[in-house]
């Protein structure tokens, strides 16, 4: 597979049995012969190359069935400029800022979303953010899906970025979500422990995959119910799989209200 220039287009393809166990960067260097290995490593680290719709590392060892998504950005990468993006500031000090991300807002620039992200708004509010996360993700130590609202903590300097990243990596951060779901959940609380993987038919979606999925565990507690139609749940994911909460709740027969996936 050869490319003559980069131009913001995405190529998606599965990993075959004959390619398993190769390093991600080495494999792609053989596929995209016009790109240097260092350029490929840069694209992986900045999120332009993803594995199973997740960020990866250049040294990741490929597994049969992995889906690689490679987006080649324009030769001139978009420059981040401050923009007036609405969000509520919950807390701020010289080290970090906690904001309430509204639904419909993408956290940081990515293919198809180069303006109007939370990062653009943060640059306007803070003027400067930690650069550890790369030029497209300044200050970002965790993410929320586009259609999910909720609190996000953002690092304003490199020391805070390193500390917060270590806390998330060590599992020291507790995440809780409120989910309004269809139907009346009968139990007061429960646990869903089912592996999640890419759906073999609908390749852009995730689903329960008992044999090939990755371990996924979600705790939930019922808070309220309305009119015999809806339940409000407090949900705590103990793992971080793509679309974990929506997949788990939907599988239990209680999909999230308004969820387009």
Report the distance separating Cα 156 and Cα 129, nearest Å: 4
Residue 238, sorted as left (phi over 0), alpha (psi -120 to 50) or beta, turns out to be: alpha
Say yes or no: 98 and 147 in one domain.
Answer: yes
82 falls within a domain: no
Q: Which of 140, 169, 198 is the last residue of a domain?
A: 169
Say yes or no: 52 and 125 in one domain.
Answer: no
Say yes or no: 162 and 186 in one domain.
Answer: no
Burial class (CB in 10 A: 0-12, 13-18, 19+), 210: exposed
pLDDT for the residue numbered 72: 77
79 falls within a domain: no
Domain assignment of residue 48, given as a range: 9-72
Say yes or no: 199 and 143 in one domain.
Answer: no
Residue from 8, 145, 147, 158 carrying the catalytic annotation = 145
98 falls within a domain: yes
Q: Which of 169, 194, 223 is the last residue of a domain?
A: 169
pLDDT for the residue numbered 2: 40
- Which CATH number characterizes residue 59's domain? 3.10.290.10
Could you state, in chain order, the average pLDDT of each consecutive group of 10 residues for the chain (261 residues)?
49 87 92 83 86 89 91 66 94 97 90 85 89 79 90 95 91 92 97 91 84 92 95 94 93 92 68
Angle (CA) 249-254-259 rounded to 5° is 75
The number of domains in the chain is: 3
Report the distance separating Cα 242 and Cα 31, nearest Å: 26
pLDDT for the residue numbered 99: 98
pTM of the model: 0.68
Reply yes or no on whether 193 is catalytic: no
Angle (CA) 118-43-95 rounded to 5° is 40
pLDDT for the residue numbered 4: 38
Say yes or no: 159 and 188 in one domain.
Answer: no
pLDDT for the residue numbered 75: 54
3 falls within a domain: no
- Which CATH number characterizes residue 99's domain? 3.30.2350.10
pLDDT for the residue numbered 35: 81
80 falls within a domain: no
């Amino acid at each position: 597979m050869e490319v003559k220039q980069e131009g913001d287009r995405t190529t998606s393809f599965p990993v075959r049995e004959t390619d398993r166990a190769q390093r991600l960067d080495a494999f792609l260097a053989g596929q995209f012969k016009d790109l240097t290995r260092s350029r490929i490593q840069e694209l992986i680290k900045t999120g332009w190359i993803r594995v199973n719709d997740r960020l990866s590392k250049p040294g990741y060892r490929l597994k049969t069935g992995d889906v690689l998504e490679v987006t080649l950005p324009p030769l001139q990468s978009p420059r981040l400029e401050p923009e007036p993006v609405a969000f509520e500031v919950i807390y701020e000090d010289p080290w970090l800022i906690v904001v309430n991300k509204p639904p419909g807002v993408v956290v940081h620039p990515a293919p198809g979303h180069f303006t109007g992200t939370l990062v653009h708004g943060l640059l306007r509010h803070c003027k400067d953010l930690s650069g550890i996360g790369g030029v497209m993700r300044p200050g970002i130590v965790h993410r929320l899906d586009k259609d999910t609202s909720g609190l996000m903590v953002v690092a304003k300097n490199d020391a805070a970025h390193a500390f917060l990243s270590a806390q998330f990596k060590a599992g020291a951060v507790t995440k809780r979500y409120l989910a309004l779901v269809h139907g009346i959940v009968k139990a007061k609380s429960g646990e869903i422990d089912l592996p999640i993987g890419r759906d073999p038919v609908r390749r852009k979606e995730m689903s329960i995959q008992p044999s090939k999925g990755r371990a996924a565990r979600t705790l939930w507690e019922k808070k309220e119910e309305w009119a015999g139609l809806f339940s409000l749940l407090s949900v705590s994911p103990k793992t971080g799989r793509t679309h974990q909460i929506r997949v788990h709740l939907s599988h239990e027969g209680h999909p999230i209200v308004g969820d387009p996936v």
